[in-house]
Amino acid sequence: MTTAEQTNPKEATGSPPDRGEVLLDVQDIAKNFGGLRAVDHCSLTVRRGTITGLIGPNGAGKTTVFNNITGFIAPDSGRILFQGIDITGLRPDQIFAHKLCRTFQIPREHGSMSVLENLMLVPTQQIGEHIWNAWFRRGAVRRQEEQNRDKALEVLEYLELTHVQDEYAANLSGGQKKLLELGRTLMVDPELVLLDEPAAGVNRSLLKRIVTNIRHLSSERGITFLLIEHDMNTVMNLCDPVIVMSEGRKLVEGPPEEVRSNQSVLEAYLGGQYAAAES
């Protein structure tokens, strides 16, 4: 396959599906770390209502793109638009305030706090954070805390975690911590959630629950998802479209069945497992 063919997704797999308006528009971003170019003028879009998969080999630049989008690392060049607003270079908390949230491959729970407290901590602009409100607006502080608690309990019930609500978060299993990470994003009614390897280190039973929750949140609550994942069964069964990255650039984009049947993707990124299954 020539370089020109590799960098033209429409020639490789057809036009990506038109699911709705463009929610996230990553325009020609680049990021260098010393002499290493981790992201090389990458452009991609995420349309509202989709569960978009982002795959590629280790070192393809996927996590750096996530970090650029969510403000953990600013790109050296290019622009990132979310709902038409330029969020390039904003701090993570500013991007979070736009209802763009993320989870991490290794969950970042507050281990010394309970599961319920982890969720109640998430909402922004809590009036109880200011000491004078705790002194002079106790009623307002209490009402807001009750609202946050009610919402947290609703999220825990949705994720089937109510039985561990009073457990220290550090004591949860790996899969339960992934569910808790997802629950924390739900506390702010997000528009877009970026999931970094939600299947990593999760047993099959809990993974099935995570996948089911993602599907329901997309279809029932209208939340859009962009996820990095190395579990190809999860990607192919959950995501549409699928974006493939290589060497910091977008290589291919399309529906999962087209990406799955693309020979260059099969050989370079799926390790031959699907090629063997179809031979």
CA distances from 275 to 171, 238, 251, 255, 269 (A): 40, 20, 19, 17, 11
The CATH superfamily holding the domain 3-109+188-278 is: P-loop containing nucleotide triphosphate hydrolases (3.40.50.300)
With a cut of 80, say whether residue 269 has pLDDT above it: no
**What burial letters (b/e) apply to 165-202, b meaning 16+ CB within 10 Å?**
beebbeebeebbbbbbbbbbbbbbebbbbbbbbbbebb
Token pair for 224: 């859009």
CA distances from 21 to 31, 192, 226 (A): 27, 13, 15
Give the pLDDT score at 23: 96
Cα(7)–Cα(218) distance, integer angstroms: 30
Quick: pLDDT tens for 90-144.
Answer: 999 999 999 999 998 888 899 999 999 999 888 776 655 667 666 666 777 678 7
The count of other CB atoms within 10 Å of the CB of residue 130 is 12
Residue 124: φ, ψ to 5°: -85, 165
pTM, whole model, 2 decimals?
0.80
The count of other CB atoms within 10 Å of the CB of residue 128 is 15
Cα(91)–Cα(133) distance, integer angstroms: 27
Cα(270)–Cα(258) distance, integer angstroms: 13
With a cut of 50, say whether residue 16 has pLDDT above it: no
Token pair for 18: 């038109």
Quick: pLDDT tens for 37-67.
Answer: 999 999 999 999 999 999 988 888 999 999 9
Helix (H, G, I), strand (E, B) or coil at 203: coil
Token pair for 269: 């990124």
Delimit the CATH 3.40.50.300 region(s) of the chain.
3-109+188-278
Mean pLDDT of 143-152: 85
